[in-house]
Amino acid sequence: MMYLRTLVNAVLAGIFIGLAGTVYLSVPNKFAGAFLFGFGLFTIVCYGFKLYTGAIGYLVNQGKNTLQYAGLLAVIWIGNWIGTWMVGTSLRFSRAGEALGEKAASLCMVKNADSWQSLLILGFFCGMLMYLAVESFRRKEEIPAPGRILMVFLCVMVFILSGFEHCIADMFYYSAANGWDAESLGKILIITAGNSLGGFLLPTADKVRLG
């Protein structure tokens, strides 16, 4: 049941990242689009859905439960993929599908033409920001509610406007563009590795810093 609940929550998280990606592609102004993308992550943290980039950083603190948590992370990643695929694929059969597909395809072309080193680095910084957003939202005692909400939206805006890579958002773009193949899967895996390494940075530093 634990894995089933995790899968359901992960699919829901993927759906909301897909909706966030949809509004981002639909808004001409990049600043407005970056802000509105934050709706996806904010919904996820408010409702306790499971997003890979928000969960991976906590792997370093699991101790004896590391293997079990790693299994849950795999379920989350797959569930996020299913959710983003559902949104991206269904939209291709709507009146908005052609325009969204073209915009998504242009983003995917950039990723496909990029080197693995570049994608890894861009994924790393995104992963760091996603951990920061989720951890800030969790710190109810240290950070007042307005600050916690602001951090969620700021971290999302910074990663989007900086051109950093988010593996789950990219799953949506490839789905909306109908661009899945062996190459795109390889790119997603590299970005996932970058997001994971970036997600590890702050919690690992905290362990060292705080002893």
Give 25-53 pLDDT, tens digit per residue.
Answer: 999 999 999 999 999 999 999 999 999 99
State the Cα–Cα distance between residues 172 and 21, nearest whole angstrom. Answer: 7
Structural contact between residues 1 and 18, judged by C-beta atoms closer than 8 angstroms: no
Residue 187 predicted with pLDDT over 80: yes
Greater confidence (206 vs 109) lies with 109
Count: domains in the chain: 1
Question: So what's the pLDDT on residue 210?
Answer: 75
Place of tokens 């996820």: 44
Residue 211 predicted with pLDDT over 70: no
Chain centroid offset of residue 112 CA:
18
Average of pLDDT values for 77-89?
Answer: 98
Read off the CATH number of the domain in which 189 is found: 1.20.1080.10
Helices H, strands E: what count in the chain? 9, 0
Burial classification of residue 58, based on how many CB atoms lie within 10 Å of its CB (0-12 exposed, 13-18 middle, 19 or more buried)? middle
Can you give the residue range of the structural domain that contains 26?
A: 2-210
Distances in Å between the alpha carbon of 163 and those of 43, 94, 129, 158? 22, 28, 13, 9
Q: Dihedral (C-alpha) 61, 164, 119, 13: value to the nearest 10 degrees? A: 60
